[in-house]
């Protein structure tokens, strides 16, 4: 193994070696490894049973929050589409977004199931696919100058939650954590 590979392996092991502490310690340590530390701590510290969870449990909690989030966005898009004041371009984009968000919802549900079976590589695949579908929705509005997705901010939060899930899932893939189900 070359020195860079060895250094990366040591870094991953040290980043992913979390044990449940029975308090906020694991949440703080795990969230510090994500790109969205503040959001991660906020959503996990507010979630019931998160203080007693190990990293596997925190991943389940974050994935369930992503599922709730994507469902809320889908419902928002559905309401926006039923607004008679939207122009035809926005209406077409919203129709496409409904399809994208339905796919994203299905993919997050598939991720939840995959996590239950500890199929971590499948979790990574499905979460990434959901993120891609959400991004496709936002991109559709950019086809016409001056337009932006009305759910752009909500999509950004969903993307951040998914990023948190992927970070935790990466540590689970590495197998350097104590898992309890």
Q: What pLDDT sits at residue 101?
A: 98
Q: What pLDDT sits at residue 180?
A: 34
Q: Smallest Cα–Cα separation from 61: which of 74, 71, 70, 49?
A: 49
Q: What pLDDT sits at residue 181?
A: 34
Q: What pLDDT sits at residue 73?
A: 98
The token pair at 118 is 């500890």
Contact partners, residue 4, CB within 8 Å, separation at least 6? none
Q: What pLDDT sits at residue 84?
A: 86
Q: What pLDDT sits at residue 23?
A: 52
Its sign, for the CA torsion 33, 136, 98, 148, is: positive
Residuewise pLDDT in 10s, the chain (181 residues) = 333 232 233 333 334 444 434 458 999 999 999 999 999 999 999 999 999 999 999 999 999 999 999 999 999 999 999 988 989 999 999 999 999 999 999 999 999 999 999 999 999 999 999 999 999 999 999 999 999 999 999 999 999 999 999 999 999 998 754 433 3
Q: CB-based burial of residue 82 (10 Å sphere; 0-12 exposed, 13-18 middle, 19+ buried)? A: exposed
From its phi and psi, is residue 66 left (phi > 0), alpha (psi between -120 and 50) or beta? alpha
Q: What pLDDT sits at residue 174?
A: 87
Is the pTM here over 0.75, yes or no? yes
Q: What pLDDT sits at residue 175?
A: 74
Residues 127 and 104: their CA atoms lie apart, in Å, by: 8
- What domains sit in the chain, N to C, each tagged with a CATH number? 3-174 (1.20.140.40)
Neighbouring C-beta atoms of residue 34, cutoff 10 Å = 20
Q: What pLDDT sits at residue 81?
A: 93
């Amino acid at each position: 193994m070359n020195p860079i590979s060895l250094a990366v392996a040591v870094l991953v092991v040290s980043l992913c070696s979390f044990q449940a502490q029975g308090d906020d310690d694991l949440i703080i340590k795990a969230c510090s490894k994500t790109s969205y530390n503040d959001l991660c701590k906020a959503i996990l510290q507010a979630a019931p049973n998160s203080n007693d969870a190990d990293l596997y449990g925190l991943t389940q909690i974050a994935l369930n929050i992503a599922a709730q989030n994507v469902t809320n966005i889908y419902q928002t898009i559905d309401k926006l589409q039923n607004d008679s004041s939207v122009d035809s371009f926005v209406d077409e984009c919203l129709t496409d977004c409904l399809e994208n968000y339905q796919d994203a919802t299905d993919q997050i549900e598939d991720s939840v199931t995959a996590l239950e079976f500890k199929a971590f590589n499948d979790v990574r695949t499905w979460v990434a696919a959901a993120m891609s579908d959400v991004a496709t929705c936002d991109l559709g509005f950019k086809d016409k100058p001056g337009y932006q997705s009305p759910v752009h901010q909500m999509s950004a939060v969903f993307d951040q939650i998914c990023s948190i899930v992927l970070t935790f899932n990466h540590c689970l893939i590495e197998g350097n954590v104590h898992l309890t189900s």
